[in-house]
Amino acid sequence: MNGLPCRAGVEVLCIGTELLLGNIVNGNARWLAEELAALGVMHHRQEVVGDNRERLIEAVRQAAGRCRVLLTTGGLGPTPDDLTTEAIAAAFGAELEEREEIWAAIQARLQARGRPVAASNRKQALLPRGAEVLPNPVGTAPGMIWTPLPGFTVLTFPGVPRELRAMWQATAVPWLRRAGLASGVFASRMLRFWGVPESDLAEQVRDLLDLENPTVAPYAGEGEVKLRITARAADAPAAETLLAPVEAELRRRTGALCYGVDGDSLASVVLEALRRRGETLAVAESCTGGRLGAALAAVPGASEVFLGGVIAYANAVKQGLLGVPHDLLACHGAVSDPVAEAMAGGVRRVTGADWGVAVTGIAGPGGGSDAKPVGLVHIAVAGPDGCRSAPVHFGSGRERSWIQLLSVGESLNRLRLRLNNGGV
Amino acid sequence: MNGLPCRAGVEVLCIGTELLLGNIVNGNARWLAEELAALGVMHHRQEVVGDNRERLIEAVRQAAGRCRVLLTTGGLGPTPDDLTTEAIAAAFGAELEEREEIWAAIQARLQARGRPVAASNRKQALLPRGAEVLPNPVGTAPGMIWTPLPGFTVLTFPGVPRELRAMWQATAVPWLRRAGLASGVFASRMLRFWGVPESDLAEQVRDLLDLENPTVAPYAGEGEVKLRITARAADAPAAETLLAPVEAELRRRTGALCYGVDGDSLASVVLEALRRRGETLAVAESCTGGRLGAALAAVPGASEVFLGGVIAYANAVKQGLLGVPHDLLACHGAVSDPVAEAMAGGVRRVTGADWGVAVTGIAGPGGGSDAKPVGLVHIAVAGPDGCRSAPVHFGSGRERSWIQLLSVGESLNRLRLRLNNGGV
């Protein structure tokens, strides 16, 4: 077709009427695209079709004429609008057959959760003759790996991101490597930054963004910024040899702005630093309402360091459980440095933790004033060496959940910087 | 093709290598999809291709064989990788010609902003012969409205969301209406369910899933299940008239399983129920570490009802701040009904809230045993009428964050059901 190489690279086909209605953003397509790029797999096209048998068949047949591997997401559930497997089978005139081992696994999984086995679940055990099972370690529906035509393979995944990701890592990535699509080895490292805008960071490292191997690319994350270094080489040690000096140079230039790498989070980095010091942490949260604690508790093994704390949303709770003096609240208001300091010191005292972090602010949309606008947050860190507090303003135009997210990140980052400096 | 109607509806083609690299999520596709649905325009397919001339030509030609209108986004800028206009012209063998009025407007706009006029900007004044200008009121590059074949029209938009949206509202929507594509309206409603698997819910409403107008479709969400009802009619009141009886029937069949509609969350529904009763709520969280509080605090205006609570991650905090007796912990363990009840009662007492909800469980991956495996969570709800607790088991195979998410949902749902029954 127009000089295009026949059956080259990978295409992504996302299936679901909810995508065509605009109900949800196509996060799976973005995630798969990023993964394919990191693996160095050629990826030329993405498509979205609804839960419609004829259009699905048409899209699959067309893709089969163009690409080497088609990845589909969605439509593997038990309901009548889940049509992916049967449409793919029909596109190549194949029969569906029930796989006993899948059906047994579905029944076992549902029973283990105390859920009834519905007749509709049985359809999830059907695969085209000759297809391999693509196991789903975290959900009911498996996918498949099927080569209906020489040189064309389709891999199917559920639309649930958690299941897609688990299946991708466990089975699809090794398969792509074995199939020679991820040729050579790509090694990549994601450096993570807090407290610097993407454009500023890019400016600091501009010359490195033009490198060809390894490449350096900036990504904006949720309140954070990331730099991905990707090296391509014949084997892993060679890729690592390419990566290391670029990582070192990036770290040298960015200093304490870089808080971690790859799977690190601000919470995991702070917990690890405290664990090494043999110290403990408690939180006192007003405007974040528990989100700071939740970020810490999301890290496996947090209990070694994180004791808990107080969600002091109402002023009466600030007084009653944290011992914030009434006069302080009356004089400075709940959103102030003195109250943040009293909260951080209070939670340290009542829990016996070595460190206390407190957040009090105005997350909006209501509650702002000229003096204390929406987006103003006071954060205090109390430790063995004393307590310090300072305000931060995230901007009145931001929405509530974004202000809460930034408050959590900023709190953890302040504690991180304090610990970096020997806790002083 | 396979009995599909020739050239029906609208397709969206998003152009940009950054989409295929996963650098950004395709928000334009979602936004256009939502707009098309609201206009009642049939929309069957979305595609993404990179900044590659041959693949762009191929994608445009294929779309021309299928749809009545193709909307493209991206690739209208002045740089060499902006190829949209020339590739579309090439797809139909048309010449490009410079439009003097566009070139004059580009120069005027750049000069007004004190920016230099680059030679590369001149390319933005090129359109295929016969194409109409689609004016861009907020940026440099206009788009076009071009009918290269009878019954097939392409509308091009920039990739910058702000420009796309302005051009869409000002010119594209009126054009779609005049072309008779935006006939009637779609109205939809999303019913939300907790505590029922998608397959069970689908079983209960199976006959309604076959309706044609309105349609009913199930979706799996994060721990919840949703049913979307979508009606098509000549105007909004007529669509509502179609929706209402189906919604009523779904609610009748599913009873208390349906917790809310559209933008509701379990937290918002519980807060609203308490607000109407003039009652307050506090939480005591162990394994969720603050996530239950965060879910409540995510709702704007939560402070009217939600007082806060205690993150009792360590046992010492359960004792010190919630007054859980040491003997209870020693005798039953932290993950038990007696401790959950003591936590819920304790947080009610220390905060003065009318209702206390407590969560204590094993989120994993460590900490499980035969008697108390990962995924076992005890949830207690204490209210004016007393305190009740019961365990729930989410399955040992689930990951930590998922167990925490389900624990939050289950806690809120128990409180909801208790309030539904008059708080008894």
- Rounded CA separation A256/A258 (Å): 5
pLDDT of residue A334: 97
Chain B: residue whose CA lies nearest to A38? B21
How many percent of chain B have pLDDT more than 90? 74
Number of inter-chain CB pairs under 8 A, A vs B:
323
Chain A: residue whose CA lies nearest to B297? A289
pLDDT of residue A196: 87
Contact A21 B37 (CB under 8 A): yes
Contact B291 A288 (CB under 8 A): no
The structure tokens listed for A71 are 């990845």
- Regarding an ipTM greater than 0.85, the answer is no
Integer angstrom CA distances of residue B384 from B107, B279, B381, B419, B422:
72, 10, 10, 11, 11
R_g (Cα) of chain A, nearest Å:
26
Integer angstrom CA distances of residue A296 from A32, A127, B323:
28, 42, 24
Q: For the segment B71-111, what is each residue's pLDDT rounded down to a tens digit?
A: 999 999 887 778 999 999 999 999 999 999 999 998 988 88
Give all domains of chain B, ordered by start, each with its CATH number: 10-178 (3.40.980.10), 185-261 (3.30.70.2860), 266-420 (3.90.950.20)
Contact B30 A26 (CB under 8 A): yes
Mean pLDDT of B17-37: 87
pLDDT of residue B422: 65
Is residue B117 pLDDT above 60, yes or no?
A: yes
Contact B302 A313 (CB under 8 A): yes
Closest CA to A140 of A108, A170, A96: A108
Q: How far is A178 from chain B (nearest CA, A)?
A: 22
pLDDT of residue A223: 81
In the numeric block, the tokens 């806790």 are attached to A423
The shares of helix, strand and coil residues in chain A, as percent rounded to the nearest 5, are 45, 25, 30
Residue B393 main-chain phi, psi, to 5 deg: -120, 115
Confidence of residue B4 (pLDDT cuts 50, 70, 90): very low
Half-sphere exposure of B163 (CA within 13 A, CB side): 20
Confidence of residue B5 (pLDDT cuts 50, 70, 90): very low
Chain B: residue whose CA lies nearest to A219? B23
Integer angstrom CA distances of residue B367 from A252, A365, B225, B371, B372:
40, 40, 30, 11, 9
3 state DSSP class of B185: strand
Is the pTM here over 0.90, yes or no? no
- What are the beta bridge partners of residue B134? B143
The structure tokens listed for A4 are 């295009």
Reply yes or no: is the peptide bond before residue B214 cis, omega within 30 of 0.
Answer: yes
Q: Running along chain A, 424 residues long, what does each successive block of 10 average in pLDDT?
A: 62 94 88 88 93 95 96 93 96 96 91 82 94 92 95 96 94 92 78 87 87 83 83 86 96 96 95 98 98 98 97 97 98 98 98 98 93 96 97 87 95 97 61
Q: What is the DSSP letter of B328?
A: H
Q: How far is A150 from chain B (nearest CA, A)?
A: 23
- Rounded CA separation A193/A221 (Å): 9
- Rounded CA separation A20/A8 (Å): 27
Give chain B positions within 8 Å (CB) of A308.
285-286, 289, 310-314, 317, 321
Chain A: residue whose CA lies nearest to B304? A314
Q: For the segment B168-208, what is each residue's pLDDT rounded down to a tens digit?
A: 999 999 999 899 887 777 788 999 999 998 888 988 999 99
Going edge to edge, which strands form the sheet with A152-157? A132-134, A143-149, A152-157, A69-73, A10-15, A43-49, B43-49, B10-15, B69-73, B152-157, B143-149, B132-134
Question: Out of A35, A303, A367, whose CB is closest to B313?
Answer: A303
Is residue B6 pLDDT above 70, yes or no?
A: no
pLDDT of residue B369: 94
